[in-house]
Structure 1
Amino acid sequence: MDSEITNNGGDVGKLSKDELKVYDRQIRLWGHDGQKKLSSWNVLLIGMQGLGAEIAKNLILSGVHSITLKDDTNISILDRCSQFLIPPDSEERNRAKASLANAQKLNPNVTVTADIKSIEEEEEDFVSKFDVVIATECFPAIYRKINENCRKHKVNLYIADVFGFFGYFVQDVTFEHNLYHEIFPNYDQRSNVSENRPLPYYLTSALLRFQCESNRKPVPDNCEEDIAELKSIISSFEHITDIEAYDEYLGELFCEMSPTTSIIGAAVAQAAMNTIMDRTIDNFNVFFYDHVEHRGQYFKL
């Protein structure tokens, strides 16, 4: 490959003939300059469950310079619901390693690597190696720490997660403050949520507090008890007046559903590409997908 592109969003060089051929259709959408920017950026993707697989697929096909798949977790039966990059007969136990071969096959022009070290074990400047960090499937305290480190080193950050048929992502590309902490308070200290928020915000807040208190996501095997606990959390928010409005949502928060991971994965990847190509929309920082209403919405919170 004869590309002259450098790392870390630096000098943007030429696209090779192979790249021009592979990316012909999308170049018609965002031009040569947009593609050259994409092809110079390095991405860190934390979490290789179904949502991570969707995000990885979209960014690899778009033609970023490199993507690191970071996950210290072993494959579980739940990954079979939506993690399409892991072969059914994989001999690898780690999700990142098991995803590597199929991820690389998507686009030989992109450097794809697997990293099985926990993000919690990394030094704070680890994120400085990348232009974009996308964190999924972490607990709130870890998200906050990643946000602090990315802000300190001026690295674009996206935080995303999926709960059954519901999902969201937060973007922080301003580096002005710890956006994740301001939008979703420190739930392990049981602080309350803000008022005048959309319904999906309170649902997300309840899910994050549940994770802090239970050290896990809601699971199908404990469905009734988990729903009861989530209702209790939601009812404790002082601005909630109609707890029954959440009943239809609470039964659909278990496991990762492929339709939801594809929607959130596409939204996150598109937002990240917009950032890379300097096309960031300034009037939103949170996206919620609402399966009950069958729509996704952007909000400024």
Structure 2
Amino acid sequence: MQSTSENKLTDYEAALYDRGIRLWGVDAQIKLRQSKVLFIGINGLMSEIIKNVVLAGVDSIALIDNHIVTYSDLSAHLFLTTSSVGKKRSDESVASIVELNPLVNVQVLDKDINDIDSELVKEYTVICMSDHSFNSTVKINNLARLNQKYFISTMSFGMNGYFFSDLGAEFTYILKNTDDKQPDQVHFKEISSHFQPLNQVLQFKWSNFHATRTPTLLFILSILYQHESSHLKLVDKSTDIDQLLNSIPNSEKYRDFLKLIIKNLNSELAPVCAIVGGIVGSEIIKIISKNNDVINNFFFYDGTKGLVETVTNDI
């Protein structure tokens, strides 16, 4: 495997990515090597995702994050140290990321969230976003969808975390169909999934829905998004909980959980980041390789109960 063409791996790459090739195959590894991922908001959760994606062997990644590191950022972040305090989180992450895999090109983009446009988005295969307001997240999601790019939004709140994916109006992938662990024949089938953008999902009219069947965190996310959209400000610890719940039917039972989420909005725990980050990293690999089932379109993790829930886009 000496060729360096885009459709082949070098001997060095084949050796470096041997484990990945055994897991998802040579074709998937080549697709990874041809892919570029844009990460927006480099918090602790995102550091776990970046680790998994970089080790998998994408071509390049870009970071957008102007946040200045504080001591509270250090508890769940893989790439920061005490010497990072007072410096830009994106800049301080680069050296550690490069050490993970020198073959991956790592770039910091000196941009504000409001500067991101179609010209930038269209350069990347996947856009993964965290640590931003719902309104900013919806804006980037819509840009990604407009340019037919894959989008993931993810956050963790204390013992809880989630991710949302929008892979466009139609996402097609190949699934192996075997009946035995070592079958005589392996059959492949093509599957198409249809995704909804974040603003449509979170703007759902809960009066038309049986709230008892709703994952609690999805209900909370919808409340927070609709409050931010109508009041043009973020929910914080000073927000009136009663005001948030008044217009939502069957919402009283969520009062305590809503208080907990608001309390933990800016709190990250390393174990939760590792679990959710591992899932998101794996999902990005599946999205790029298109050779396995993908989650459409919400994943929720509750660390207090050890509970995982997924929600399809037909709610």
Give TM class, smaller chain.
0.7 to 0.9
Gaps of 5+ in 1: 6-11
| RMSD of aligned Cα (Å) | 2.7
Q: Is the aligned partner of 1:4 residue 2:21?
A: no
In 1: Cα distance, 2:301 partner to 2:241 partner: 19
> Could you give the per-residue CA deviations for residues 109-133 of structure 1, whole angstroms, max 9, x where no partner exists?
1111112311211233210000110
Q: Is the aligned partner of 1:181 residue 2:195?
A: no
Choose the corresponding residue for 2:282, options 270, 281, 290. 270
Q: Give the number of the structure with larger relative contact order, counting CA–CA contacts within 8 Å between residues 6 or more apart.
A: 2
In 2: Cα distance, 1:299 partner to 1:110 partner: 33
8 A Cα contact 1:202 1:234, kept in partner: no
* Displacement of 1:60: 0.5
Gaps of 5+ in 2: 171-194
**What does 1:38-187 correspond to in 2, within 5 Å?**
38-90=32-84, 93-175=87-169, 179-185=197-203
Paired residue total = 283
Distance verdict in 2 for CA 1:262–1:211, change over 3 Å = farther
* Displacement of 1:99: 0.4
Q: Is the aligned partner of 1:198 residue 2:210?
A: no
* Displacement of 1:107: 0.4
Choose the corresponding residue for 2:21, options 10, 24, 27. 27
Structure number with greater Rg is 2
8 A Cα contact 1:169 1:287, kept in partner: yes
In 2: Cα distance, 1:201 partner to 1:280 partner: 25
Q: Identity, % of aligned pairs?
A: 26
8 A Cα contact 1:184 1:193, kept in partner: no
Distance verdict in 2 for CA 1:3–1:126, change over 3 Å = farther
3-state secondary structure, aligned to 2:299? strand
8 A Cα contact 1:231 1:243, kept in partner: no
* Displacement of 1:294: 1.2
Partner of 2:253: 242
Whichever residue aligns with residue 200 of structure 2, its letter is: E
In 2: Cα distance, 1:236 partner to 1:56 partner: 39
Distance verdict in 2 for CA 1:272–1:237, change over 3 Å = same
In 2: Cα distance, 1:3 partner to 1:195 partner: 56
In 1: Cα distance, 2:280 partner to 2:97 partner: 18
8 A Cα contact 2:135 2:228, kept in partner: no
Distance verdict in 2 for CA 1:105–1:3, change over 3 Å = farther
* Displacement of 1:277: 0.7
Question: In terms of mean alpha carbon deviation, does 96-105 or 273-282 score higher?
Answer: 273-282
* Displacement of 1:90: 3.1
* Displacement of 1:91: 7.4
In 2: Cα distance, 1:208 partner to 1:74 partner: 25
Q: TM-score, normalised by structure 2?
A: 0.80
In 2: Cα distance, 1:91 partner to 1:241 partner: 41
In 1: Cα distance, 2:227 partner to 2:266 partner: 13
